[in-house]
Structure formats: structure tokens, C-alpha cells
Amino acid sequence: MRHSAKAFFGLAICLALFAAPLRATDFWLFPRVDTLDLDVRSMQELKYIETIRQGFDFSCGSAAVATLLSHHYALPTDELEVFKEMWAHGNQEKIRREGFSLLDMKHYLEARGFRSDGFRISASRLEEVGVAGIVLLDKLETPHFVLVVGARGDELLVSDPARGIRTLSVDELEASWNGVFFVVRGQATLARGHFNDPEVWKQRRWAPIEQERLGQALLPRLHELPRPGEVNFN
């Protein structure tokens, strides 16, 4: 009788296991009560959940603008679209040498009906502004645009086109930037609703701990792009 019970129980488990295909996101133990569906995303995806990654080595400016419009002003925007427009209407030789500027961004935004300006402010007061803005880390070996998308006391939440969501202290930002905070003027209610987003704060845990070089060797470089008059995006 004892052997029969063991055999029956073993058969029941086998039948339960093979009764239906097992999906990667289904986890259950006999007797089955319900299915637990898990949202499985990679650490890389989590880092860029609210950040548009730059497609070129020095296209952080166009990626920052695309991130700002897509995630803070409800206007889904492709980084390549921004890149092509700012490249076509900007000083291409200067862009090739130095990358995009805040002036390039301002022209792009205003052509789409967004008034924008840069103003000087200390990093410790960014929480008072209450909307996301673009900053230039110009004291690094390679100047780099990022967005400040949240602030809590001494900690700033940064959306980095090269590294995803991460944090900087107020002192770290003060030591790295030129003191200009570039923002869209208008639609403040919409923008404030996305500043200090708790879900984005959660993603900072996935940011790499080690210091990374901002230049990405495997990405196309601006000096490899066509010269003025040679551009063809078709």
C-alpha cells in the first residue's frame, strides 16, 4: 500500500508537470492554484527605462533632447531624428569637432514650438526648479550632456545617454558642470509630473559602480560622418 501511494503521487506530479507547456515566466508547484507572471527585464533595459541611449560617440546632445521630449513632455522623439535636424541646420564643422551645443538644442526645440533657455543656478537648488533640464559636464576630459531628472537633498538623479540612470551628489555636479541648467519654458505642470519619478529613482541601483569612460569606442564617431554637402540620409 505504501509503494502504491508513492507511485500514485509520483504519477500525479509527472502529469501535472507535462499537462501544459511551461513558459519561462510561469512558475508553479503542484497542486497548481494560479500562474505567477513576472516582468523579466535585463539590467541594461532597466538602466535605460527613462533614457534614450546615444547612437553616436558624441551624440549625447541629441539623445538628451530626445529623452527630454519623450519622457518629460509626452512627445515621443527619436534620437536620430533630432541628430539629423541639428546636424543639417547647425555648424557642421564645429559639431564635428565639439559635438552639439545648447544653441543647437535651442534652435531644434523652438522650431517645434518649445521655448527653451539656459540659466545659471547652483546644483543645490535644482530641486526647487522641479522640472528636468539638460546640463553640460564640461569639466570632464570629454564634455558630455546629461539630464537632471530628480533631486533629493544632496543626491541628484541623472539620466545619462551613455550610462543610463545614475546619481551624482551635489558636490560632484558642481565640480563637473558649467553651472547652466537648460530647460523648456512652459508646460511646467506636465514636466513637474515627471520630475522625481519614484519608479525612475528605483532604477539607479542598476547603474554601474565603476567609473566608465564616457567615450564609447564601438560607436560611430562624428569625424567619420560626411562633410557638408555630402550628407544623404536616404
For residues 109 and 82, give the distance between their C-alpha atoms in angstroms, rounded to a whole number: 10
Return the amino acid letter for 219: L
Neighbouring C-alpha atoms within 13 Å toward the C-beta of 175 = 6
Instruction: Let me know if 60 is a catalytic residue.
Output: yes
175 vs 37: CA distance, rounded Å = 45
DSSP per position, 173-185: HHTTS-SEEEEEE
Q: Which residue out of 52, 53, 56, 60 is catalytically annotated?
A: 60
Q: Kindly state the cell numbers that stand for 8.
A: 500514485
Distances (CA, A) of 176 to 69, 169, 173: 24, 11, 5
**Grid cell at residue 11:** 504519477
116 closest CA partner among 94, 101, 128: 101
**Separation between Cα atoms, residue 53 and residue 81, nearest integer Å:** 13
For residue 41 the three cell numbers come to 527585464
Give the residue numbers annotated as catalytic, written as ranges: 60
